[in-house]
């Protein structure tokens, strides 16, 4: 993940060339469209009018799906863009990339299971809170296929969650039909299996929506994390408090990331993270413990800042150290 500065300032052509590479492995449709945009000034001129983070390719691509627009390059796409621009612009300016991937629980649950049970979870950057519900998915028979190499640190079936709470800049409501539509639109074409399981996870979550509080973790992270961990200790005094985060820290600048990690340490909670290779400085410094990444887009799983394995970004495979 490039930082916000890059997304806000990079010219549209190179930005979409970069995103074509990001999507190439799993989404040929987005790769093709992004390469075409990177070579088509008429589209770039439109997209260049968007401010700041609204230029993020993921937002425009999700808006296409959300609005039911064409996904193939060519004259029909250009015509749609011209005709629908006010609606597209409204979506892209008001919604943010909050992809919530419940498949990540397939690789975080065995790690949570290795801690003294039950656990009390605080998820940072929780979006709609779908990563807070591993026990509820398995109780409902929803599984997320994940190819496992090595020995998992714990047995997910033995994990028990005594309390759960999320925090996000913009908490999403799993029960709101329009929010669900946006979350589905964020899944890339050719990843229909993810979308199917996302729908199922949303159904389960909506039966008893996880609580996600609103907070900006770049503001007073010590206070926010400390207070919420204390709250979990009071709600579930016999549980192990755990701060959990996945695909979140990359959205923060480096000093804010550092401050959040220090806040987690200071809270005294256990710490489970699943982030990109270079995102958590202290985890990156110890990567030699787990060998080279199977591919450069792999995420690092870490417990209390110690890397314990590599995982595909959406939990499709895991390689435990």
Ligand X SMILES: C[S@@+](CC[C@H](N)C(=O)[O-])C[C@H]1O[C@@H](n2cnc3c(N)ncnc32)[C@H](O)[C@@H]1O
What residue ranges bind ligand X (CB under 6 A)?
A: 96-101, 104, 125-127, 131, 168-170, 216-218, 246-248, 251-252
Q: What is the DSSP letter of 295?
A: S
**Interatomic CA distance for residues 130 and 121, integer angstroms:** 12
Query: Quick one: 84 or 216, whose CB is closer to ligand X?
Result: 216
Query: Quick one: 23 or 40, whose CB is closer to ligand X?
Result: 23
Q: How far is the CB of 217 from ligand X (least distance, A)?
A: 4
Evaluate the omega torsion of the peptide bond into residue 42 and state whether it is cis, within 30 degrees of 0. Answer: no
Query: Quick one: 278 or 289, whose CB is closer to ligand X?
Result: 278
Give the DSSP per-residue string, 149-213.
Answer: ES--SS-GGG--EEEEEEEESS---TT-HHHHHHHHHTSPTT-HHHHHHHHHHHHHHHHSPPPEE
Q: How far is the CB of 106 from ligand X (least distance, A)?
A: 12
Query: Quick one: 43 or 112, whose CB is closer to ligand X?
Result: 112
**Interatomic CA distance for residues 232 and 242, integer angstroms:** 9
Q: How far is the CB of 132 from ligand X (least distance, A)?
A: 9
How far CA 209 is from CA of 141, 175, 215, 267, in Å, comes to 18, 7, 18, 26
Three-state secondary structure of 142-165: CCCCCEEECCCCCCHHHCCEEEEE
Query: Quick one: 81 or 174, whose CB is closer to ligand X?
Result: 174
Cα dihedral 137, 196, 93, 254, rounded to 10, equals 50
The residue at minimum Cβ distance from ligand X is: 125
Measured between alpha carbons, how far apart are the two ends of the chain, in Å? Answer: 24
Residue 65 tokens, joined: 């799906």
Query: Quick one: 40 or 267, whose CB is closer to ligand X?
Result: 267
Find out whether 166 and 211 touch, Cβ atoms under 8 Å: yes
Q: How far is the CB of 25 from ligand X (least distance, A)?
A: 18
Q: How far is the CB of 126 from ligand X (least distance, A)?
A: 6
Query: Quick one: 22 or 101, whose CB is closer to ligand X?
Result: 101
Q: How far is the CB of 246 from ligand X (least distance, A)?
A: 4
Bridge partners, residue 241, by sequence: 120
Q: How far is the CB of 103 from ligand X (least distance, A)?
A: 9
């Amino acid at each position: 993940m490039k930082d916000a500065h890059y997304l806000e300032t990079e010219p549209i052509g190179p930005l979409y060339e970069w995103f074509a590479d990001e999507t190439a492995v799993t989404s040929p449709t987005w790769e093709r469209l992004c390469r075409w945009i990177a070579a088509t000034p008429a589209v770039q001129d439109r997209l260049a009018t968007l401010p700041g983070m609204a230029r993020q390719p993921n937002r425009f691509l999700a808006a296409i799906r959300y609005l039911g627009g064409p996904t193939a390059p060519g004259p029909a796409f250009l015509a749609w863009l011209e005709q629908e621009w006010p609606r597209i612009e409204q979506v892209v300016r008001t919604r943010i990339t909050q992809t919530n991937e419940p498949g990540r629980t397939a690789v975080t649950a065995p790690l949570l299971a290795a801690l003294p049970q039950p656990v009390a979870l605080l998820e940072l950057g929780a979006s709609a809170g779908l990563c807070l519900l591993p026990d509820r998915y398995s109780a409902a028979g929803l599984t997320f296929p994940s190819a496992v190499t090595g020995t998992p640190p714990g047995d997910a079936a033995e994990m028990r969650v005594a309390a759960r709470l999320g925090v996000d800049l913009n908490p999403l409501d799993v029960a709101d039909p329009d929010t669900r539509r946006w979350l589905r639109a964020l899944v890339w074409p050719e990843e229909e299996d993810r979308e199917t399981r996302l729908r199922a996870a949303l159904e389960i979550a909506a039966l008893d929506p996880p609580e996600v509080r609103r907070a900006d973790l770049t503001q007073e992270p010590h206070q926010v994390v400390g207070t919420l961990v204390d709250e979990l200790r009071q709600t579930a005094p016999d549980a192990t408090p755990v701060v959990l985060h996945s695909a979140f820290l990359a959205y923060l600048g480096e000093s804010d990331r550092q401050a959040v990690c220090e806040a987690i340490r200071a809270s005294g909670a256990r710490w489970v993270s699943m982030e990109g290779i270079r995102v958590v400085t202290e985890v990156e410094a110890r990567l030699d413990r787990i060998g080279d990444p199977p591919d450069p887009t792999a995420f690092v799983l870490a417990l209390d800042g110690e890397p314990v394995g590599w995982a595909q970004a959406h939990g499709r495979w895991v390689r435990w150290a």
